[in-house]
Amino acid sequence: MELTNAVALVTGANRGLGRHLAEQLVRRGAKVYAAARRPETVDLAGVVPLRLDVTDEESVRAAARIASDATLLVNNAGISTGNPLLSGDLDAVRLEMETNFFGPLVVTRAFAPVIENNGGGAVLNVLSVLSWFHPAGLGSYAAAKAAAWAQTDAAREELAPRGITVSALHVAYMDTDMAARVPAEQKVDPAEVAAQALDGIEKGLPEILADDVTRQVKQGLSGAPTPA
């Protein structure tokens, strides 16, 4: 997909990776709807701030009506509550699934007809190395991202006949607010991750592995689970 003159909607575009994706899309010549629950927090030049809460279906439908010229959807918005599945707060587990799985599903369902009507395009789902690696302390987040990985693969097959490619971005810790407590040497630059993601969209890659940790974990998927 050629990003020059594309029309992109990026969820969670007010900070972190989403902000870098929106900024770099503008630099590549795209029109960008920078979506956030509070659009007044979007401070990027050259974008169209847009209210969108992925857990609020009416706001998603309203955004799809406004961004009716979209050809690229970037499902970036997400949360991490740091909850284990069994001993953690069950409402937090549900919130992560609602945000990280049902959120991109609802947004994709709303924007797939828009993209199709505009001649086709692409969807990028921001996933995680924890789609494949499931530590107990982050069980809630890992379970939601694993489900989002399955969603991405199924959506790719379903949307291909409609002229829409679907790419998955998998990445470990980035230097963003979500990973603030992680030592700096373990984190990668979100600007570099954004560049890799956009290059992958242009090449039509179904999967983009943004760092060495993620590539190593992916290579180990065929091995037997490690005993606890």
Catalytic-labelled residue, pool 33, 141, 173, 187: 141
Is 173 one of the annotated active-site residues of the chain? no
Instruction: Please check whether residue 11 is in contact with residue 75, taking contact to mean a CB–CB distance below 8 angstroms.
Output: yes
Closest CA to 194 of 57, 18, 69: 18
Is 145 one of the annotated active-site residues of the chain? yes
Could you give the CA distance from residue 79 to residue 87 in angstroms, rounded to a whole number?
19
Distance of CA 90 to the CA centre of its chain: 24
Q: Tokens standing for 181?
A: 């407590």
Could you give the CA distance from residue 98 to residue 106 in angstroms, rounded to a whole number?
10
Query: Could you identify the residue written with the tokens 């945000």?
Result: 99
Catalytic-labelled residue, pool 145, 187, 203, 218: 145
109-135 burial, b if ≥16 CB within 10 A, otherwise e? ebbbebbbebeebbbbbbbbbbbbbee
Catalytic residue numbers read 141, 145
